[in-house]
Amino acid sequence: MALRFEVLGRFNRARAARLTLPHFTCQTPLFMPVGTQGTIKGLTTDQLETIGCQIILGNTYHLELRPGSQLIDDLGGLHKFMNWKRALLTDSGGFQMVSLLHLADITEEGVTFQSPVDGKPMLLTPEESINIQNNIGADIIMALDDVVKTTITGPRIEEAMYRTLRWIDRCIAAHKKPDVQNLFGIVQGGLDPVLRDICVRGLVERNLPGYAIGGLAGGEDKDSFWRVVAQCTAGLPEDKPRYVMGVGYPLDIVVCSALGADMYDCVYPTRTARFGSALVPEGVLKLKQNAMATDERPIDPSCPCMVCKNYTRAYLHCLVTKDPMGSQLLSYHNLSFMARLSRDLHMSILEGRFPEFVRGFLRVQVCLALQSLFYHI
Amino acid sequence: MRFAVTKVCASGAKARAGLLQIGSSGVETPALLLSTRKGLPAFMSPDLLSSLPLPDSLLLNVCPTHFIEVPPSKTISNIGGLHRMLGLPDHILVAAAGESTECLPSSDATNKFGASFETPAGRKLVKPSDYMELISCLQPNLWASLADEVPAWVNEKRNKTSVERTLRWLDACIALDAASGRNSLGVVVGGSSIEQRKLCATEVSKRNVSGFWIGGFGLGESVEERCSLLNAVTDCLPLEKPRIVSRLGLPEEVLEGVASGIDLFDSTYIYQLTMGGFALIFPIDMVEREMQNGVFDSSAGDSAKINLRATTYRKDMSRIVDGCTCFTCQNHTRAYLNHLINVHEMLAQILLEIHNTHHYLRFFRSIREAIKAGEFDIFWKQFVENRRSQIAAAAIRE
């Protein structure tokens, strides 16, 4: 175990905690931006620090492809390679099974991908995934799990859940640096509460430093989504971090935090920025819309970030989807928004005003969003 | 705007050092105008821009025709003009109508009513009245008049027409300007004809302009022609007003321009280097030149720049330039840049634009130093000789 997790404040199931990792001491709940190929698209490490990012993600599959985890290790690890001084988390490559499924073949041994770069077959076993992640050197590494889409039904889900438990043992055995890298297990089981329960118990038995709730955020309805999260957080240990993978939308983060989750990751804030959408308290502001061309307000008057302090919607409207600067400025704002959301969640729980925060958050999202249908916000 | 020549090279050479003062900002010349898209550098947001040397990095070239569609003029005025809209209140913004990446002069379609440009939104015809409407709501610190720039291969008649139109439009722009040309830069064209160039320069000098924008270069003339054309122009211009030339970007071209009496340079050289994955490494001063001699591996680039895409940099943990104080060199390695370029990540261009701009601004600084020390001729000669010997050495190695 290479982390310390201290709960500093609570409200019902929600917790504000201090997560001490080898490279950085974080405050949870927190959102982790995704830097797939060893960079957050369009932002420097300096800017990420200014914004307040605490942990960023790197992707095992992509980094192994280019530049290669051995090269990263030879050059001193990913922290040194990209010059990021805070915490890193690498995922196992498992998600690519779902997102690149037509290129993947899953067996007990592992997953065979056909590389989209050069067509060569690549076999990702639990051992290989952990080996690659050991080379990359992130503070938190993820077990290779057998991920299935929640929209799939039938025996495949049960197969995947049991395989995930068998694979966690292989991951644990293969892990060479448990003193500096924390291996998180991932709870699978689709939308089936019985399967989820078996998986939770199985992982908890292995006494891992932290746990993730996987297999969600893939198109299932919200009602099923939060029930699974609620069930898992109820069964996972209190004194270890819980990470809901692939989440996401600010509303989902608030709900999951209320249910007792601590960490989140998603490409949404940065990806939607590149498509011209800014995150605002009311929801989403689509800067490409014609109405924005004459709108002299900042994206969000309440946002203290560099973009909102300097730029109008009208000017950003010219840039978005046309110039790289548009992507950069919007990504900067969106990640600032997510960092502020994380801070607000942590502080409101800590200071005993979590319910007020959630009510305020929902009021703006739901009521003002409805208002904007009738008037221009 | 105030401009003063502070030092002229002795022995009949025309290179000069100067000081350009606008508002509370003063910039020494010869200097570089940084190129922009819609007012901001292509990849450096203002927080990154502010890490570049000051006051050198305050000078930006802005193309008004980038704003021809959006935002509407009224919105720009309401926001408070360019400086407010771009979040760059202290910068010196110099506007000119055509540029080399997103607003190319389309001389075939230009007619007596206006200048035509190829833009991402299609071909646009810009009349003096359209142009001045943009200028009045953008409120740049300096603006070049609307001109008819033609490539070097047009016939005599077309070239003559371009000069006539450019002068007519200059007068039209000044007439439409609320400040009657106080911040204007008269554009000098004339293609490859020494006669037309001289005529245009002489005529523009008669107008009430604050300086001169020398256009029409970098459009097909030969390097030899250019030198004599440029000198023909500067010989006809008054000494006490600043001269800007566009599309002369290479170090050797800059040195030639300085020798002809040019004060400010506008080019997309840095942008093109950046897009190609190149990083400037040429030694800035004599000490650096000596250090570089004999230790350069030419397999990936030449002694002026390296192509960070090349596999030789995959594991190179050194900085682009040892001792460079730019953000990129202080924080990142050639290996990381190599990776970013090869996986097509935007951060590659951001980091390269920072370094290349920083490096080039240092080059301009060393030019100014040489002029002030009365050593520009030596500086120029050594620079060119050093380049020649590097290229020769590389050729021998191969």
- Tens digits of residue pLDDT in A98-154: 576 566 788 999 988 777 667 788 788 999 999 999 999 999 999 999 988 778 888
The reply to whether B331 and B216 lie within a common domain is no
The reply to whether B253 and B281 lie within a common domain is no
Residue B271 located in a structural domain: no
Last residue of a domain, one of B243, B266, B289: B266
How large is the average pLDDT for residues B19-37? 94
How large is the average pLDDT for residues B45-65? 96
The reply to whether B233 and B284 lie within a common domain is no
pTM, 2 dp: 0.94
The one-letter code for the residue type at A15 is R
Kindly indicate the confidence band of residue B292, based on its pLDDT and cuts at 50, 70 and 90: low
Residue B136 located in a structural domain: yes
Question: How high is the pLDDT of residue B294?
Answer: 47
The Cα-based distances of B88 to A293, B81, B302 in angstroms read: 20, 11, 36
How large is the average pLDDT for residues A297-319? 97
The reply to whether B239 and B348 lie within a common domain is no
- Tens digits of residue pLDDT in B115-161: 999 988 889 999 999 999 999 999 999 999 999 999 999 999 999 99
Shortest distance, CA A281 to any CA of chain B (angstroms): 24
| pLDDT higher than 90, residue B258 | yes
How large is the average pLDDT for residues A180-205? 96
Kindly indicate the confidence band of residue B288, based on its pLDDT and cuts at 50, 70 and 90: low
- Choose from A310, A319, A327 for mutation: most chain B CBs within 10 A: A310
The reply to whether B35 and B105 lie within a common domain is yes
How large is the average pLDDT for residues A215-229? 91
Spacing of C-alpha B113 from chain mean position: 28
Percent of chain A's residues with pLDDT above 90: 82
Query: What CATH number is attached to the domain comprising B10?
Result: 3.20.20.105
How large is the average pLDDT for residues B204-219? 94
The reply to whether B64 and B142 lie within a common domain is yes
Shortest distance, CA A28 to any CA of chain B (angstroms): 28
> Could you state, in order of their start, the residue ranges of all structural domains in chain A?
4-267, 274-375
Write down the mean pLDDT value for chain B. Answer: 92
| A265 is an active site residue | yes
Catalytic pick from A146, A252, A262, A265? Answer: A265
Residue B310 located in a structural domain: yes
Question: How high is the pLDDT of residue A376?
Answer: 54
How large is the average pLDDT for residues A159-170? 95
Long-range contact list for B371-377, CB < 8 A, 24+ apart? Answer: B371/B7, B371/B9, B371/B15, B371/B16, B371/B17, B371/B30, B371/B258, B372/B6, B372/B7, B372/B17, B374/B7, B374/B9, B374/B10, B376/B9, B376/B13, B376/B15, B376/B258, B376/B259, B377/B9, B377/B11, B377/B13
Q: Which domain range does residue B82 map to?
A: 2-266
The reply to whether B179 and B309 lie within a common domain is no
Question: How high is the pLDDT of residue A149?
Answer: 79
Give the residue ranges of the annotated binding site of A for substrate. 91-95, 145, 188, 215
Please say whether the beta carbons of A358 and A272 come within 8 A. no
Number of folded domains that form chain B:
2
Q: Between chain A and chain B, how many beta carbons pairs sit less than 8 Å apart? A: 115
The reply to whether B190 and B281 lie within a common domain is no
Residue B308 located in a structural domain: yes
The reply to whether B207 and B350 lie within a common domain is no
The reply to whether B302 and B383 lie within a common domain is yes
Question: How high is the pLDDT of residue B298?
Answer: 45
Last residue of a domain, one of B266, B300, B319: B266
The reply to whether B19 and B134 lie within a common domain is yes
How large is the average pLDDT for residues A310-337? 96
Answer yes or no: do B79 and A314 touch at CB < 8 A.
Answer: yes
Shortest distance, CA A260 to any CA of chain B (angstroms): 36
Which residues of chain B does A46 touch, with a Cβ-Cβ cutoff of 8 Å? 327, 331
| pLDDT higher than 90, residue B357 | yes
In chain B, which residues touch A (CB < 8 A)?
37-38, 40-43, 45-48, 67, 70-72, 74-75, 78-79, 85-87, 120, 314-315, 317, 327, 331-333, 335-336, 338-340, 342-343, 345-347, 349-351
Kindly indicate the confidence band of residue B299, based on its pLDDT and cuts at 50, 70 and 90: very low
The reply to whether B247 and B283 lie within a common domain is no
Last residue of a domain, one of B218, B238, B266: B266
Kindly indicate the confidence band of residue B392, based on its pLDDT and cuts at 50, 70 and 90: confident
| pLDDT higher than 50, residue A23 | yes
- On whether the A4-267 domain is CATH 3.20.20.105, my answer is yes
Which residues of chain A does B342 touch, with a Cβ-Cβ cutoff of 8 Å? 66-67
